[in-house]
Every structure is written in structure tokens, then in C-alpha cells.
Amino acid sequence: MNAPDRSASKETGNLPAEEPVLHRVRRTVCPVCKTPVETRDVAGAPNFPCCSRRCKLIDLGKWLNGEYRIPQANKEEGEDE
């Protein structure tokens, strides 16, 4: 003699909880000091992919010094001495 239980038989319609929009964590290593770098927001990490401003500057300096530059045929001869 079970009385029909309306509340129990009613599905609550459990929808799968929507996952919060997670920013994908970008993982990389600092090109200068090889420190693991994690950032969720590249736009908010001005030093990315470097770990710090200092490394960013060092990295920038390498570029300015031509360390990363593609070797060009310089016609200049070393006549500094």
C-alpha cells in the first residue's frame, strides 16, 4: 500500500553543471632562465613568455644585440682596431 509519492518520482532535472569558463593555463619556460612559467592570461602577463620583467629585458636585449637575428651578409669588415 504505497501511496504514490509525487515528489519522489519527479525528476529534478539535474542538468550537468556548466563548467566555469576556465582560462587555459599556459605553461612554458622562460627563454632566458628556463624557469617554468605559468600564466592564465597572456594579455595580463606583459612579461610572457618570460618569467619576469628582468628576463623580458634580457630577452629583448638579445634581440637588440642581434643574437637572434638571422645572419646577414655584412660587407663591413672589422676595422675597429
User: Segment contacting Zn ion (CB under 5 A): 1-9, 17-25, 27-35, 41-49?
Assistant: 27-35
Q: Among the candidate windows 10-18, 19-27, 46-54, 63-71, which touches Zn ion by CB under 5 A? A: 46-54
The correct pick among 26, 28, 33, 47 for binding Zn ion (CB under 5 A) is 33
Supply the minimum distance, in Å, between the C-beta of residue 47 and Zn ion. 8
Instruction: Please give, one letter per residue, the 3-state secondary structure of 17-81.
Output: CCCCCCCCCEEEECCCCCCEEEECCHHHCCCCCCCCHHHHHHHHHHHHCCCCCCCCCCCCCCCCC
